[in-house]
Amino acid sequence: MDAQGADSFEDDVRAARTLTEAFWRQQFQHLGRTYQPIADFVPYTGNAGPSCGNQPAVPNNAFYCPIGHFIAYDQAWMESLWNEMGDGSVYVIIPHELGHAVQAQLRTSFELNVQLELQADCYAGGTLSTLVRSGALTADPGDEDELLLSLAAAGDPTDDWLNPAAHGTAEQRQASFATGYRDGVGAC
């Protein structure tokens, strides 16, 4: 993915956040609502991240915290994904986490955590396709593979929907992202 002026990991992180929040601001306007930008965007390393309520940050992760309305991410982990898998990883992770911020604002609830996670993947796909179609992002050859590889790497090893930490298998995550990418966030 190429955003105007994004040549480094830091540029891609900034672009992914800025473009995704601009997208959601427009979506909320269309609904006659006001999008509340996240309060903070916190890079951390290893176990040194902010806690969310009584839950400590964990290494190799990114998360949205509704208490404080912020996103935190393990910078070393995300940068290693960017280096190994390409910039597409950043354009999956950040829109996914901002999808959770949108769910919180819309007061979305599901019976199972995995349903929230798959909807956030769908939101990420819908966000990305709109950004590409609008010209805010340019898709490069191989980007589709990068996006799918990133989702596969984040998939659960088993289809245990009752696990409160479940995010969905690689195939489920890819399918949810693809639904959003193909049909937009309204399909999520």
Given a cut of 70, whether residue 2 has pLDDT beyond it is no
165/4: higher pLDDT: 165
With beta carbons less than 8 A apart as the criterion, state whether 71 and 90 touch.
no
Whole-number mean pLDDT of the chain?
A: 90
**Burial 137-158, CB ≥16 within 10 A → b, else e:** bebeeebeebbbbbbeebbbee
**Residue 79 pLDDT level (bands cut at 50, 70, 90):** very high
Given a cut of 80, whether residue 109 has pLDDT beyond it is yes
pLDDT at residue 29 in the model: 96
141/29: higher pLDDT: 29
Specify the pTM: 0.91
Residues 3-41 have pLDDT tens digits of: 665 678 999 999 999 999 999 999 999 999 999 999 999
Given a cut of 80, whether residue 164 has pLDDT beyond it is no
- Name the nearest CA neighbour of 78 among 92, 98, 64, 57: 92
Given a cut of 70, whether residue 152 has pLDDT beyond it is yes
Residue 41's Cβ-side half-sphere holds a number of Cα atoms within 13 Å equal to 16
Positive or negative: CA dihedral 106, 72, 26, 184: negative
